[in-house]
Amino acid sequence: MKILLAALLLTGTTLAQEWETLNTEGKPNKRHEAAFVEFEGEFYLMGGRRIQPVNIFNPETKTWRNGAKPPIEVHHFQPVVHGDKIMIICAMTGKYPNETGLENILIYEPKKDRWSWGDEIPEKRRRGSAGVVNVDGKLYIIGGIVRGHMGGYVDWADLYDPKNGEWTKLKNAKHKRDHFQATYLDGKIYAAGGRTTSKETGKVFDLTVPEVDVYDIKTGAWSVLKDDLPTPRAGNSTLAVGQDVVVAGGESGGNKKAHDEVEAWDTLKEEWKDYPSLKQGRHGTGLILHQNCIYTCSGSGGRGGGPELETIERLKLK
């Protein structure tokens, strides 16, 4: 049985005992398969099923306001901030289960509240539901799925340089996976959670990937953590917090409700530990670390497309 650590040590920092649901002025659009990302102290909830405006949250005033709608329905993506832009790369568009990968990078400029199209993605590397991280201005794209929810999950790894538009194939990851997020910590990229989605064989939610792949940027080599993710799930959010790789929420074939588990790989002790569980299980969103607090918002409260949520939760780090 797992032991919930009420006061969890995080490089000299302790966690509060539980997440709290914030009371806010205004509400975001209910959505899932969306993204939640910070830019210059404000939080941007964007994308998801249907074409919906960007919802912008000010954590100081706890207020929501709306931004522009994207030019196309965009979902199943992990956005990254690059300079004054939020970049969406290897996302899906279209309806379940035959979604397609975007042909170009989609860009949102928060200061101008403006959407635009960026560089073309090589035709044979287009996919959605990939993990994406920004390391020193270069974007690493891991995994994903080529044919929507029908199949075509991949173990690809790519490097995209926004300065010159160059796209470079890297060594494939150890495992194929989609519906997950990646994060960067101390020279390494962690691909945690996810599944191998295959509606054509009737396995949409079941084939979760428990192994965590690790890419060493300096050596270009992949490895696998010695211990699997304790609660395998897909649609999870992943974030580096101190020396921890945090995996929150998600969905799996064994649960009709979305997962509320929050588990972390301690890179110093090389072991998994529990964080406090989410107030509301959710998948298809993201995590933000801001001023010693972790935030999450929106997503789906059940396996699959609903119920879509509008709540925002916060876990204070003392």
- pLDDT of residue 60 exceeding 70, the answer is yes
Q: Classify the C-alpha dihedral 171-142-74-42 as positive or negative.
A: negative
* Bridge partners (DSSP) listed for residue 74: 48
Range of the domain at 47: 16-316
- 285, two tokens: 């969103």
Comparing CA positions, the residue from 86, 61, 82 lying closest to residue 135 is 82
Number of separate domains in the chain: 1
**Type of residue at 60:** E
Amino acid 286: pLDDT: 98
What is the distance between the alpha carbons of residues 213 and 225, in angstroms, rounded to a whole number?
Answer: 7
What is the distance between the alpha carbons of residues 112 and 310, in angstroms, rounded to a whole number?
Answer: 25
Per residue in 206-224, pLDDT (tens digit) is 999 999 999 999 999 999 9
Q: Residue 13 in 3-state DSSP?
A: strand
Amino acid 223: pLDDT: 98
* 2 within some domain: no
* 8 within some domain: no
- 264, two tokens: 């972390």
* 249 within some domain: yes
* 1 within some domain: no
- pLDDT of residue 9 exceeding 80, the answer is no
* 128 within some domain: yes
- What mean pLDDT comes out for the span 45-63? 98
**Type of residue at 13:** T
- pLDDT of residue 4 exceeding 90, the answer is no
- Tell me the CATH number at 265: 2.120.10.80
Amino acid 15: pLDDT: 62
Chain centroid to CA 6: how far?
Answer: 25
Q: Residue 86 in 3-state DSSP?
A: strand
* 288 within some domain: yes
- pLDDT of residue 3 exceeding 90, the answer is no
100 contacts: CB under 8 Å, gap ≥ 6: 92, 93, 94, 126, 128, 148
What is the distance between the alpha carbons of residues 266 and 235, in angstroms, rounded to a whole number?
Answer: 21
Q: How confident is the model at residue 318 (pLDDT cuts 50, 70, 90)?
A: confident
What is the distance between the alpha carbons of residues 185 and 72, in angstroms, rounded to a whole number?
Answer: 33
Q: Residue 267 in 3-state DSSP?
A: coil
* 10 within some domain: no
pTM: 0.95
- 86, two tokens: 């939020």
